[in-house]
Amino acid sequence: MTTNLYDLAPEQIEAALGEVVSPPFRVRQIIEWLHERGVGSFEAMSNLPKELRAQLAERFTVAFPEVVERTPPAADGSRKYLFTRGDGNRIESVYMPMPTSERTSVCLSSQAGCAVGCTFCVTGFFGAGRNLTPSEMLGQFFTIQHEHAVPHERMNVVFMGMGEPLLNFENLAATLDVLYTTVAPKRITVSTSGIIPGIDALAKLERRPNLAISINAPDQKRRSEIMPITAKYPLPELIAALKRYPGAITVEYVLLAGWNDAPHDAVALARLIRGLRAKVNAIPFNADPNLPPWMKRPTDAAIDHFVDTLVRNGVAVTVRRSKGREIAAACGQLRGKDVATGRAARPR
């Protein structure tokens, strides 16, 4: 198989190109085309001689996954993208223009499924899928950016699609390095279910993204019920790891009616995260036929009460009023639905 240059770090690209391209400025031009412009072909590299483009195309690829479906824009402008790589795996991303600002967010998937198995999550329901490569993660980003002609300085990137990014650490780190060419680390957020070694590894990187941590319950016992990963990485140790993380932290909290949405749960959550200097993103549960029927979205009144209680306990809160709900594409609600049959595709 020919090497996809989007799967290589700049030094590796230099080494690989060395056989074909001699002047260093040409190598720099090619890296610019890739990492700044995100082109999907050698043909598009218009300042390279035609013969060189042909030679490169013989030896390497610069391929992205192919878009197989785009949902029509929802009322808030968000759209879901479905990509494939020809191996049957489906990769989903979401384009989310921000109504209240000039900014645009793209929500990327890091794996074609998820082995963590949180019981409230559709991706978890369908089970493990393979790690996505840097070219597959970058392909989601550049494809959506190009289609909507979003200037670099307006892009926010969130790794909140399918998969657990910290269980695909090396590919994530390589992807971040390329994204940093055009998007500042503070504009990138990696969301995790709480993989402690991954959090510590991210903390050691020279440039670090913001971290979002899916806490979802205010105590160890309840968290274990919906997030089996809690047995491996217990909540007190997770909080300690978050305290070590030298960057901004958002606590995500999926609100389940009658289960973790009472005012006393808000008080317990405030206590749990005291000392983290984190803001909370409350996410009202999104129901799905594949998820346990007891799981329900709280009423708006209950959501407001929960949020008010957090605020009164000194916690900054935002509520994700399910952007993209109309198209069943809320970030974190992705599954890899088979377009042809309408059946959900189980990742292999």
Which residues are within 8 A (CB) of 330 and not within 5 positions of it... i.e. 6 or more apart? 94, 286, 320, 322, 323, 324
Q: Which residues lie across from 105 on neighbouring strands? A: 96, 156
Name the residue number minimizing CB distance to ligand SAH. Answer: 332
Do residues 207 and 185 make contact, with C-beta atoms less than 8 angstroms apart?
yes
Structure tokens given for 100: 């209240």
Amino acid at 291: L
Q: How far is the CB of 63 from ligand SF4 (least distance, A)?
A: 26
Given 93, 214, 250, 260, the residue binding ligand SAH (CB under 6 A): 214
Structure tokens given for 121: 């999550």
Among ligand SF4, ligand SAH, none, residue 117 binds (CB under 5-8 Å by kind): ligand SF4
Among ligand SF4, ligand SAH, none, residue 135 binds (CB under 5-8 Å by kind): none
Do residues 255 and 287 make contact, with C-beta atoms less than 8 angstroms apart?
no
Q: How far is the CB of 62 from ligand SF4 (least distance, A)?
A: 29
**Any idea of the CA torsion for 108, 112, 115, 116, to the nearest 10 degrees?**
10
Q: How far is the CB of 214 from ligand SF4 (least distance, A)?
A: 6
Given 332, 335, 336, 337, the residue binding ligand SAH (CB under 6 A): 332
- Which among 66-74, 181-189, 190-198, 238-246 is the span making contact with ligand SAH, rule CB under 6 A? 190-198
Q: Is 217 in the site for ligand SAH (CB under 6 A)?
A: no
Nearest to 278 by CA among 163, 184, 189, 153: 189
* 343 DSSP 8-state letter: S
Do residues 228 and 117 make contact, with C-beta atoms less than 8 angstroms apart?
yes
Q: How far is the CB of 314 from ligand SAH (least distance, A)?
A: 22
Q: Is 63 in the site for ligand SAH (CB under 6 A)?
A: no
Structure tokens given for 291: 């998820």
Given 193, 250, 281, 333, the residue binding ligand SF4 (CB under 6 A): 193
Given 31, 34, 107, 116, the residue binding ligand SF4 (CB under 6 A): 116
Residues that bind ligand SF4 (CB under 6 A): 114, 116-118, 121, 123-124, 163-164, 193, 214
